[in-house]
Amino acid sequence: MKAQLTFSVSDLAQTRFAVSPMWEVVTSFRALVTMSVPAPHRSWADQVRPRLVAAGLDHGWLADMIPPMGHLPDLLNPAPAASSSRLPDELTAIGSTDPEQIRLDLDRLATERDGRLSPRLRSLYRTPRDYLPRLISEIEVYWQLALAPYWSRIRTVLQADIFHRGRQVAEHGTAQMLNELHSTVRWDSGALHLVQRHCTITRIETGAGLVLVPSVFAWPRVLTRSVAPAPPQLAYPARGIGMLWERRTYAHVDALAAVIGRSRALILAELDSPASTTELAHRSGLSAAGVSQHLTALRAAGLASTHRAGRSVLYARTGLADALLNAQG
């Protein structure tokens, strides 16, 4: 299937980049429900899937709405209002979705499923305002289990991609930047051409400008959203995802240990992947009580964050801690 998005001078002037938590929610959940998780994300999926099953999210609202292939409901991806949107802002936008837009989304899902919708989605269809809060509540739970503990790392990749694309525009122009987004995207004669099976987009159907959204979990395809009067969105695979989940080594742990202590520096290094107090004690060889005390101090200093996963609590490094561990000598 081929699609074309024509551009006026005004459209080019309104083209922008944005980081969107909801695009990562949708694309990451799709990655989890595919028959085989895409290779770059298997280590992440191995950590996350047991949490989702324990929370019942493997057969909840998102499971009903996000198929392994095919249409993704547009209501889940409102246009990001800022270059780096916050999840609460996007959830507020979802909560104010026009009921008719919700029904259009569900009609399209039903068409792809031989006219069938789950009991949940039929309830949402009948009375969107009654059931939309339940969907939003589940998204918040999913975020805490699957993405919040890793968000610092994910956001770093997304922001690095935007920096790279911005530099491309400055040095070589918008056309080259668009041509290098993805193999299925091509800029030619004032139009953006997309060759893909499941996404259609035209200027007739949508608003002005274009929002380019780098995504960690969209790989290996490009996804689009086209709902007037909002600008069209194009979510594309961010650069650098191949090494996103690889365990990293840090050359300056000893230097950091001289400042905050060896045990706390060791714990920060072990938080390369989020973990509970018990897991960190096992990894580091420290006592659980000692790890708990150090984590309290690290959290107070803004170097660690907490994320509830069912009955347990996961700890993750913050962006500030990443910067300290990656600091050049």
pLDDT one-digit tens code per residue, 167-177: 888 888 888 88
Amino acid at 193: H
- Residue 329 has what pLDDT? 46
Rounded Cα distance between 320 and 107, Å, is 45
Rounded Cα distance between 166 and 305, Å, is 30
Closest of 118, 106, 143 to residue 20, by C-alpha: 143
Identify the sign of the CA torsion 169, 172, 175, 180.
negative
pLDDT, mean of residues 82-101: 91
C-alpha gyration radius of the chain: 21
Tokens, residue 36: 């085989």
- Residue 31 has what pLDDT? 92
Task: Answer yes or no: is pLDDT of 198 > 60.
Answer: no
Q: Which CATH number fits domain 253-325: 1.10.10.10, 3.60.20.10, 3.40.50.720, 3.40.50.1820?
A: 1.10.10.10
What ranges do the domains of the chain cover?
A: 2-242, 253-325
pLDDT, mean of residues 95-104: 93
- Decide which of 194 and 196 is more confident: 194
- Residue 254 has what pLDDT? 75
Strands 233-237 and 210-215: parallel
Rounded Cα distance between 103 and 125, Å, is 6
Of 166-175, 244-253, 286-295, least confident by mean pLDDT is 244-253
Rounded Cα distance between 32 and 170, Å, is 37
